[in-house]
Amino acid sequence: MGKLIIKIIKVFLLFLVTAALIIGAYLGYQEYEKSQKLKAELSYQSEHEWSWHNEYRRIQIRHIDALGTSMLRKVYKHKDHVIYAYKNDNYSLNATVLFFVPCEPDSEIITSQEFGSGKPKTLVCNSDGEALRFSVTWSDKSNDKLWEEKLDGFSLRVDFSDWDFTKLDQEITLSKARSKINANKPIKQD
């Protein structure tokens, strides 16, 4: 009877170990899949490395060395477009959308839509012929923008009030720093 109980315990422990290994492998694979999806989203249609600015809201950030400032973006993989946003030196907001569709390289498409000024809204194909670009700039400094466009079959809707532009605003402010040493130095007159 004692040997039977020991044998039952051994079989039960073997079952538990096997189940734990299977569950561990499954959970490990799920975590791997999740990390691969996040990595794919961060590198989506980009040669550059992006990182999460707000992972919950899916907002990414990248410092652009040539501009000396950062840019935000949000990937809409299911709609095959990406929204980019950055700030001008006067804190006004610029936004660009790239619609990833084959197009005639370096061509322009004048849509039937117009800006408030009457100027037509134009889609521009990139030099590789892989995406159409459309950009806007707002003159005011508010970040509470709802950008919605319907451009003859290409549409977007993004609410920038969900985006945190604090880091970009801080970079602009810091770029305006002047040395106290040079600022307080008297100007030599001849």
Identify residue 35 by its one-letter amino acid code.
S
Rounded CA-CA distance 97/122 in Å is: 12
22-36 pLDDT, tens digit each: 888 777 778 877 767
Domains of the chain, by residue range, sit at 1-42, 51-175
Contact 85, 71 (CB under 8 A): yes
Rounded CA-CA distance 17/3 in Å is: 21
Q: What integer is the mean pLDDT of 34-59?
A: 87
**Looking at the predicted structure, is the pLDDT value of residue 190 above 70?**
no
pTM for this one? Answer: 0.78
Token pair listed for 87: 């700030």
Least confident of 18-22, 125-129, 142-146, 147-151: 18-22
Rounded CA-CA distance 183/31 in Å is: 54
**Looking at the predicted structure, is the pLDDT value of residue 155 above 90?**
yes
**Looking at the predicted structure, is the pLDDT value of residue 183 above 60?**
no
Q: Give the pLDDT confidence score for residue 152 in this predicted structure.
A: 95
Within the chain, what is the greatest distance between any pair of CA atoms? 112
